[in-house]
A and B are shown apart, each in its own frame.
Chain A
Amino acid sequence: DTGVSQNPRHKITKRGQNVTFRCDPISEHNRLYWYRQTLGQGPEFLTYFQNEAQLEKSRLLSDRFSAERPKGSFSTLEIQRTEQGDSAMYLCASSPTFPRNTIYFGEGSWLTVV
């Protein structure tokens, strides 16, 4: 059990560029979540996968945000045409089927849009 791994840990990008973050969940965790956290706030739920199926994506912040989990293992979160307001920490988490309530977070990927 190596924990949830996120890459890159930090990303600085110019406004208008696309960025992609990768998340490797704890092995055999079939549930994967993406959250966003801005300074002084708690994490905000974005999307959820069970295996490769994206079961909830209505809370992605805009159509510039998309996430995939093609083989039910790692996941990517892409932000297209970044805006300064996208600057935040993007957290990935995973959980087993049971108990599902406890989720395990990665260290996060910091995004700064300049």
Chain B
Amino acid sequence: SQQGEEDPQALSIQEGENATMNCSYKTSINNLQWYRQNSGRGLVHLILIRSNEREKHSGRLRVTLDTSKKSSSLLITASRAADTASYFCATDSNSGYALNFGKGTSLLVTP
């Protein structure tokens, strides 16, 4: 089952701009992760934020988590054309091993 839902479904920006993607989920979680997928390729793990954390940074990435609203956001600062990809949020499940992915946000960064 797909618990996470990303918003927007598609986002087009110019190089240098910031990109913000949102994820909403339905049930309580232990952690939430963001993955990136280039067209036709596998997924690459970007960042994990635990339920007791509110914000986390990794390079140009900033992730926030609001467990009261069951939502998370991924901010990519100073975007580059190479950031063009689909971005997925994933939440853990009660089983502890299956990740539930949303449908993703397709990001296009134009030079």
Contacts and interface: CB of A to CB of B under 8 A. Distances in A.
Contacts of B92: 101
A97 to B, nearest CB: 12
Interface in A1-46: 4, 31, 33, 40-45
Contact of A91 (B4, B43, B98, B103): B43
B25 interface: no
B73 to A, nearest CB: 17
B98 A41 contact: no
Interface centre among A31, A42, A106, by most B CB within 10 Å? A42
Given A101-B31, A103-B99, A41 B45 contact: no
Contacts of A41: 2, 103-104
Nearest to B44: A105
B48 A45 contact: no
Nearest to B100: A45
A4 to B, nearest CB: 8
Interface size class of B (residues with CB under 8 A): 20 to 34
B103 A55 contact: no
Interface size class of A (residues with CB under 8 A): 20 to 34
B103 A107 contact: no
Given A107-B41, A108-B41, A48 B98 contact: yes
Nearest to A47: B98
Contact of A56 (B2, B95, B103, B104): B95
Interface in B35-78: 35, 40-45, 48
Interface in B70-111: 88, 90, 92, 95-104
A104 B45 contact: yes
B42 A55 contact: no
A16 to B, nearest CB: 26
B33 A101 contact: yes
A101 B91 CA distance: 10
A103 B45 contact: yes
Interface of B: 2, 4, 30-31, 33, 35, 40-45, 48, 88, 90, 92, 95-104
